[in-house]
Structure 1
Amino acid sequence: MNDDTLCRADPEPRGSPQEPAMTMARALGESPVDGSGVYAALDLGTNNCRLLIACPANGSFRVIDSFSRIVRLGEGISSTGCISEAAIERAIAALIVCRDKMRARKADRLRLIATEACRAASNSESFRSRVAAATGIELEVIDRETEAALAVVGCSPLIHPKARGAILFDIGGGSTELVRIERDREGGEPHTKAWMSLPIGVVTLAERFGGHDVTPQSYTAMIEEVTANLGAFAAQHGFNLYGMHLLGTSGTVTTLGGLHLGLARYDRRKVDGIWMNDIEITQAIARLCGMDYQKRVANGCIGAERADLVLAGCAILDAIRRAFPLPRLRVADRGLREGMLVEMMREDGVIQLN
């Protein structure tokens, strides 16, 4: 494992996000947090800008608005070290839409985060200052441990109720998080046993090895690159997997889910929560690898925005499958935003811990 790779066991509980959320609400001109209003969670990643707005309902939450746009904030960072001007403009345009949606829905409890691109870029601080000036949004750059923890909160409801645990993975644009989640007893609450974060995601891998024209040789090279970075974590935590399954959240696994279901157009309602066995995953990846770039663009579950990234994501997934050879994968079209919403609502006492 290289020096940039983070690997920790039994992380300490995260601090409360309440104060940054209150500060951001004031910046947007909204009312103070009262613990019973409208909640908003924004995730500005290396590739996507995503927003979820929800209200507490029946012990969970009800989504009242959402937004997702690929902005490629991390484009070129691996070679230049900076967020480009074009990426800044794309991100600000998307964040203006998010701000307007939060205002229209009168969201009064917010958490607005940025991840790997803002962690890695040398001009991250100036970028966030421009975002604040243009939109009123003050982005909170979270560390990799927090990112992994939020993914656990957002996705853990999809762990099979009779499973001993899961290997959760979140393949992002600039990093990939893995978490070993276990129950101490049948029916118990799943909790994190160990986690790691790789400074490798679909954008960084595709930029390094190519994303438009992927040969069998370059695909294998991508798998080997990720495998080398996974080695130490897999050696420590890739054993005693009986009764566990894979749990994946990312555009890669949701795309594979859509292909597996034969969808003409991607539909979250049909994909979130589906199961794929090892043979089905292999078949879906083989189908993708057999498509040229134009066929990937034309596919309704991929499109032009993901066509040059999806095979890099498959290579990351194949490396994870090698390290953790589990027979089934559950696909999650959920993650950080849902995790932020649940955390805020639990803190405010409007939903209860399971």
Structure 2
Amino acid sequence: MFAALDLGTNNCRLLIVSSGRRGIKVIDNYNRVVRLGEGLYESGVLSEAAMERTLFALRHCAARIERRKSFKLYAVATEACRRASNASTFLKRVHNETGLNINIISPREEAELAVAGCSAFLHDKLLRRNRTKTLLFDIGGGSTEIAWVRIDPIRKKQTLIGCCSIPVGVITLREQFRRLTLNEYYHMVDYVLNKINAFERIHQIRAEILREQVQFVGVSGTITALASMILKQPKYSRSAIDGLLLETSQVKDMVRHILVSKFNKIYDYSTVNQSRLHYLLPGCAIFEAIHTVWPVEDIVVADRGIRDGIIAKMLEANKSHNTGKNHFHSSRFFVKN
């Protein structure tokens, strides 16, 4: 068995899978909103309330892990723990109280894991449409990762050309722009635009888009929520969303619909869950900024990410270990419980 734990700024996620002759099987899948980074933008530290919420979720994870006695685990923390001055103290407390050893990963490793988690989509002929590059973005709670990837369809490999991590996510953006007016929404879009323009100047991705060589992949709760609204799902269904190919005009139309619903107070409860707007609108602003800079005509929606990337890396390392090929240093990911 293989287990991956992703402690983000907004969510705590655990995935446990088994690997055997019949392939990969999901044994356990846990996701809880913990808002670990709440208040971090102003204070620079993880609050006691946020740490308690997170510890509650991590105790649940530890209990689920304990039920599976023999497997390999890798646990990571991202932007909130990268930024908070008391993160190391908190993670020591986590280890003492739960036994979980959580590693703070770099923005580049976070982007690499997101790409690895979506590799199946990068090599799917119907989704890739003969394009040679992929632009992948992952809107998180505390940061947004953007990965520019070259695809090798023959060897079914991908190469990370470049990546950037902007310290803007749905929680941090909401805390920076507290007055959620329509003007503030467009100020959020402009703010994100200024953060990502430098990446475009370096890599000239728009030129590749004009040559129709770019696949667009969206990884985040924002994109999956928008896709679910577009499909008018009464209840979220991952199987219908993960790997869904949409025209980006459909996504932008849904964003406009949400803006009208919010600011003109014409509530359409069939498609817009009002309780989610608190963090959905900042995510929409990040998406709008990304698509303004890189106007790809269609988008692959991915309900997967870091956990899936960790599992993919672990499986690859295990395969290399068993065949005697040391393409990947397995001990980097194989951390025994």
TM-score of the superposition, structure 1-length normalised? 0.83
- Aligned pair count? 313
Long gaps (5+) in structure 1? 1-37
Alignment of 1:133-144 (within 5 A): 133-144=96-107
The answer as to 2:86 corresponding to 1:123 is yes
Give, in whole Å, the separation in 2 of the partners of 1:168 and 1:59.
30
The answer as to 2:304 corresponding to 1:334 is yes
Q: 1:87 aligns with which of 25, 50, 69?
A: 50
Q: Deviations over 1:11-46 (max 9, x none)?
A: xxxxxxxxxxxxxxxxxxxxxxxxxxx111000000
Alignment of 1:109-258 (within 5 A): 109-159=72-122, 160-161=124-125, 162-184=130-152, 188-210=156-178, 214-237=180-203, 238=205, 239-241=207-209, 242-258=212-228
Native 8 Å contact 1:82 1:122 kept in 2? yes
Q: Which moved more, 1:99-108 or 1:224-233?
A: 99-108
CA positional deviation for 1:165: 2.2
Give, in whole Å, the separation in 2 of the partners of 1:144 and 1:295.
39
Native 8 Å contact 1:266 1:300 kept in 2? no
CA positional deviation for 1:132: 1.1
CA positional deviation for 1:245: 2.0
Runs ≥4 in structure 1, deviation > 6 angstroms?
293-301, 350-353
The answer as to 2:57 corresponding to 1:108 is no
The answer as to 2:284 corresponding to 1:321 is no
Q: Paired residue for 1:32?
A: none
Matched residue of 1:54: which SS? strand
Give, in whole Å, the separation in 1 of the partners of 2:267 and 2:281.
10
Give, in whole Å, the separation in 1 of the partners of 2:16 and 2:266.
34
Give, in whole Å, the separation in 1 of the partners of 2:262 and 2:70.
43
Give, in whole Å, the separation in 1 of the partners of 2:7 and 2:91.
11
Task: Decide which structure has greater helix share.
Answer: 2
The verdict on how the C-alpha distance between 1:291 and 1:186 changes in structure 2, with shifts beyond 3 A counting, is farther
Give, in whole Å, the separation in 2 of the partners of 1:298 and 1:60.
40
CA positional deviation for 1:183: 2.1
Q: Deviations over 1:53-89 (max 9, x none)?
A: 0011458522111100000000000000010000000
The verdict on how the C-alpha distance between 1:295 and 1:139 changes in structure 2, with shifts beyond 3 A counting, is farther
Native 8 Å contact 1:296 1:302 kept in 2? no
CA positional deviation for 1:348: 1.3
Letter in 2 for 1:328: D
Alignment of 1:274-285 (within 5 A): 274-285=244-255
Native 8 Å contact 1:202 1:310 kept in 2? yes
Q: Which moved more, 1:246-255 or 1:277-286?
A: 277-286
CA positional deviation for 1:298: 6.2
Q: Paired residue for 1:48?
A: 11
Long gaps (5+) in structure 2? 328-337
The verdict on how the C-alpha distance between 1:300 and 1:128 changes in structure 2, with shifts beyond 3 A counting, is farther
Native 8 Å contact 1:176 1:201 kept in 2? yes
Seq. identity, %: 36
Matched residue of 1:325: which SS? coil
Q: Paired residue for 1:289?
A: 259
Q: Deviations over 1:306-333 (max 9, x none)?
A: 4311110010001110111100000000
Give, in whole Å, the separation in 1 of the partners of 2:297 and 2:20.
35
Give, in whole Å, the separation in 2 of the partners of 1:349 and 1:252.
34
Native 8 Å contact 1:245 1:327 kept in 2? no
Letter in 2 for 1:147: E
Letter in 2 for 1:125: S
TM-score of the superposition, structure 2-length normalised? 0.87
Give, in whole Å, the separation in 2 of the partners of 1:79 and 1:314.
22
Give, in whole Å, the separation in 2 of the partners of 1:96 and 1:299.
36
CA positional deviation for 1:90: 0.4
CA positional deviation for 1:164: 1.6
Give, in whole Å, the separation in 2 of the partners of 1:296 and 1:96.
38
The verdict on how the C-alpha distance between 1:184 and 1:132 changes in structure 2, with shifts beyond 3 A counting, is closer
Native 8 Å contact 1:39 1:107 kept in 2? no
Matched residue of 2:135: which SS? strand
Q: Paired residue for 2:314?
A: 344
Matched residue of 1:329: which SS? strand
Q: Paired residue for 2:282?
A: 312
Native 8 Å contact 2:229 2:271 kept in 1? no
Q: Alignment RMSD, CA only? A: 2.4
CA positional deviation for 1:186: 6.2
